[in-house]
């Protein structure tokens, strides 16, 4: 059994932060307004860069450019510091400063992660150290003494548990304005460029998430939009759309938006054509505790989100 009270100083791994890493962090930070967001993005970038270096040393393939932490839109919408590990999933890399004995784990990164690595960034911003690893988290503030040695990350990546997982999105929480993961109210994500398409849309609870298909397709991202309307006898009506990201006027052709049952049966689907500015599934309804899945496909790439009423 791992001793959770190991000495951090004995097990930490020193990292030299290169000028290139600091330049990238500065470039990302300057895209945002002055204040806490700039510092957040800067430190997150250095933490991810440091963990990426370590995994490269260990000959573990990563995809830094496709990670959410390298995406300026997601940087603005959420506090993310993830690193995509090829064929495995997203590893969260959380920074702490000198003297801190606890690390903050934002709610939006407590799902869809294969584990968490904590990186101490020294005040000079030229050196850092990887403090340790923890496979799962269910609290927003984690004492550093609960970390495991970083070597446990390698064991975890080679175990059957080191695979990407999806926690169902509970839609009933949206009705009380509680949001999890990277899903947020449309009103809280102005950077996605979504607007109510009609006055009637204002009566719906609207959530959105940036869907990243870049791992297979180079630079393609789209926005998944879900709107809810409570109805009688506990039913909830659902509308689902797919939009282009703000910098793209239209969706790419041949993107498929698919509704599946809990068992994987295709219930409905729609495909984008040339110059579609959004596509939409037929409206459907569900009862409490029912599940469904939404899949976004383009060529060989696909992303599936699971929902529960």
DSSP 254: T
| Contact status, residue 228 vs residue 171, Cβ threshold 8 Å | yes
Place of tokens 């269910």: 138
pLDDT at 120 over 70: yes
End-to-end CA, the chain: 39
Q: In the prediction, which pLDDT does 12 show? A: 84
**b or e along 270-286 (b: 16 or more beta carbons within 10 Å of the residue's beta carbon)?**
bebeeebebbbbeeeeb
Express each pLDDT in 208-265 by its tens digit: 888 776 544 444 778 899 999 988 877 889 999 999 887 788 898 988 999 988 877 8
pLDDT, mean of residues 174-188:
81
Predicted confidence band of residue 166 (pLDDT cuts 50, 70, 90): low
Q: Which of 82, 80, 88 is nearest to 60 (CA)?
A: 88
> In this structure, what token pair is assigned to residue 110?
């407590």
What percent of the chain lies above the pLDDT cut of 90?
A: 36
Helix axes 36-57, 19-29, angle to 10 degrees: 140
Express each pLDDT in 13-60 by its tens digit: 899 999 999 999 999 999 887 778 999 999 999 999 999 999 988 888
Q: Which of 128, 157, 134 is nearest to 4 (CA)?
A: 134
pLDDT, mean of residues 259-282:
89
Burial class (CB in 10 A: 0-12, 13-18, 19+), 195: exposed
CA separation for the pair 178, 205 (Å, rounded)? 11
| Contact status, residue 251 vs residue 276, Cβ threshold 8 Å | yes
What percent of the chain lies above the pLDDT cut of 70?
A: 85
Q: In the prediction, which pLDDT does 177 show? A: 86
Q: In the prediction, which pLDDT does 19 show? A: 94
Question: Side by side, which strands form the sheet with 13-16?
Answer: 13-16, 127-134, 115-121, 89-97, 82-85
pLDDT at 191 over 80: no
Q: CB under 8 Å to 61, separation ≥6 — which residues?
A: 85, 86, 87
Q: In the prediction, which pLDDT does 238 show? A: 93
pLDDT, mean of residues 260-272:
86
Cα–Cα distances in Å, from 126 out to 46, 83, 132?
A: 10, 21, 19
Q: In the prediction, which pLDDT does 272 show? A: 92
CA separation for the pair 50, 121 (Å, rounded)? 10
CA separation for the pair 44, 28 (Å, rounded)? 10
């Amino acid at each position: 059994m791992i001793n959770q009270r190991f000495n951090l100083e004995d097990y930490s791994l020193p990292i030299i932060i290169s000028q290139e890493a600091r330049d990238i962090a500065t470039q990302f930070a300057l895209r945002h307004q002055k204040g806490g967001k700039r510092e957040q993005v800067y430190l997150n970038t250095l933490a991810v860069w440091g963990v990426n270096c370590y995994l490269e040393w260990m000959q573990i393939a990563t995809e830094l450019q496709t990670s959410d932490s390298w995406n300026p839109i997601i940087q603005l919408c959420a506090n993310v510091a993830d690193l995509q590990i090829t064929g495995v999933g997203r590893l969260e890399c959380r920074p702490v400063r000198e003297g801190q004995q606890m690390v903050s784990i934002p709610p939006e990164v407590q799902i869809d992660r294969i584990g968490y690595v904590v990186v101490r960034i020294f005040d000079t911003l030229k050196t850092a150290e990887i403090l340790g690893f923890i496979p799962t988290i269910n609290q927003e503030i984690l004492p550093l003494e609960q970390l495991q040695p970083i070597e446990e990350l390698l064991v975890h990546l080679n175990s059957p548990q080191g695979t990407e997982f999806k926690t169902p999105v509970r839609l009933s929480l949206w009705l009380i304005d509680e949001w999890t993961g990277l899903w947020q109210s449309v009103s809280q994500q102005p950077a996605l460029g979504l607007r109510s398409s009609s006055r009637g849309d204002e009566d719906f609870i609207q959530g959105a998430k940036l869907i990243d298909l870049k791992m297979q397709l180079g630079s393609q991202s789209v926005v998944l939009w879900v709107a809810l309307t409570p109805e009688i006898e506990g039913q909830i009506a659902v509308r689902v759309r797919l939009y282009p990201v703000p910098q793209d006027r239209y969706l790419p052709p041949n993107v498929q938006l698919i509704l599946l049952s809990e068992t994987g049966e295709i219930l409905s689907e729609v495909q984008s054509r040339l110059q579609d500015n959004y596509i939409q599934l037929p409206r459907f309804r569900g009862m409490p505790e029912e599940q469904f899945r939404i899949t976004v496909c383009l060529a060989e790439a696909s992303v599936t989100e699971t929902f529960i009423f």
